[in-house]
Structure 1
Amino acid sequence: MQFGARGFANTGVRDIAAEASVNPALVLRYFGSKEALFRAALDHSIFMDPVLELEPAKMGRQVVEIFLAADEMPSPLSMMILSAGDPTAHAISVRALDEKVIRPLADYLGPPHAEARAACLNLLWSGFLTAWKLLPIAPLSDDRLPMIATWLADATQAIVDGRFGPTGSPSGS
């Protein structure tokens, strides 16, 4: 996908049309604008269902297994990061993140502090995926990845279980 590889500013409707082997006018007819196409691409590529179907007691380990099985950077995350410099794309990304990730994850988690815990999970997962796939750092190299994966699973599970409060202190503090 062009937006995930090049970002919003560096992708044109003609690029998208060429990749789809269609006329650019057809793309604009169906989507109306590049912004609407970006919104549709994000909405289509963000799907939390596999995560929201996990058993809460095993979510940490299972989410990390999903991440490690992925061959490439998740398209919506790279789309949002690479497009953050454009104000319109930024606003679209923030809305999509809230509607498609934070709110459904908060509903899944439930009280206490559901939205804050969902935001913590998004922060944790986005940071890991960015440092592992988009901007790879040496400590996440293959020989160290099992140790990092264990930490990520434990940190995820602590947030899911409510053992780690949204302020960074143990729940109840």
Structure 2
Amino acid sequence: MYISDPSETKRPARQRDAERTRAAILTAALNLFSTRGFAQTGVREVAELAGVNSALVGRYFGSKLGLYRATLEVIDITPALQGDRRSFGKFMVGVFFDSPGAPGPLQMMILSVADPDAHAATVEFLQKKVITPLARWLGPPDGEGRAARLNILWTGFLISWKLLPIQSLTGARLAATRRWLEAQTQAIVDEGTS
């Protein structure tokens, strides 16, 4: 007969707690980095918002910069590249509109550019997680340039809608802008395919 070691039964529970704690820290960090930026966010504030001891931030992420890098991991365009290419514009713009109140990585990246380390991490991640996979998916002609133009288009829209809101981007104008953004996104995707 096998008698289990009590420490074996506790490990899975601890693992689940560790995953939950890590997720709570990441959620709190994304919230604070997205509203205050990197420089104005402290590890203690993140820990307090997450409801954990600040030592756990260091344990899971090493440093505030490590935590920032981990929050950037939420940026992943690859799921959007799995769908129908002909409806990419509509799908991608839908992503922006479907979570209008949630703190997002764009706000976090823009608010954090004043810090040299956060800026470098942001540029590296944007290239690695958005531009490069998007360019590969777009393919010739000039996938890299088209990916850059899409990033410019989306970033400009999101800044004008979220960070430096243009008052006229509401109601019917916002709906018309959404259709325009979908069409412009799709036009860039379709360049050179005719």
Distance 1:107 1:146, change over 3 A: same
What residue is the counterpart of 2:21 in the other structure?
Answer: none
Shift of 1:73: 5.5
The runs of 5 or more residues in structure 1 that have no matched partner are 165-170
CA contact (8 A) 2:93 2:182 kept: yes
Deviations 1:113-166 (A, max 9, x none): 1111111101101111111122210231222112211211111111101159xx
Task: Please name the residue that 1:82 is paired with.
Answer: 111
Match of 1:91 among 106, 111, 120: 120
2:114 counterpart of 1:54: no
Identity %: 52
**Highest Rg: 1 or 2?**
2
Kindly report the root-mean-square deviation, in angstroms, between the aligned alpha carbons of the 2 structures. Answer: 1.8
Question: Structure 1 residues 81-90 or 15-24, which shifts more?
Answer: 15-24
CA distance in 2, matches of 1:73, 1:25: 27
* Partner deviation per Cα, 1:68-94 (whole Å, 9 max, x = no partner): 222226511011000011111100100
Does the 8 Å CA contact 2:78/2:133 hold for their aligned counterparts?
A: no
Tell me which residue corresponds to 1:12.
42
Match of residue 146 from structure 1: 175
Q: Which amino acid aligns with 1:20?
A: A
State the one-letter code of the partner of 2:96.
Answer: F
Query: What is the TM-score with the length of structure 2 in the denominator?
Result: 0.78
Check 1:163–1:133 CA distance in 2 against 1; reply closer, same or farther (3 A cut): farther
> Deviation above 4 Å: which 4+ runs of structure 1?
none
Residue of structure 2 in register with 1:34 after alignment: 64
Runs of at least 5 residues in structure 2 that lack an aligned partner in the other structure: 1-30
Classify the secondary structure of the residue corresponding to 1:112: coil
CA distance in 2, matches of 1:27, 1:38: 11
Query: Structure 1's 30 and 136: CA in aligned 2 closer, same or farther, altered over 3 A?
Result: same
Inter-CA distance 65–30: structure 2 relative to 1 (3 Å threshold):
closer
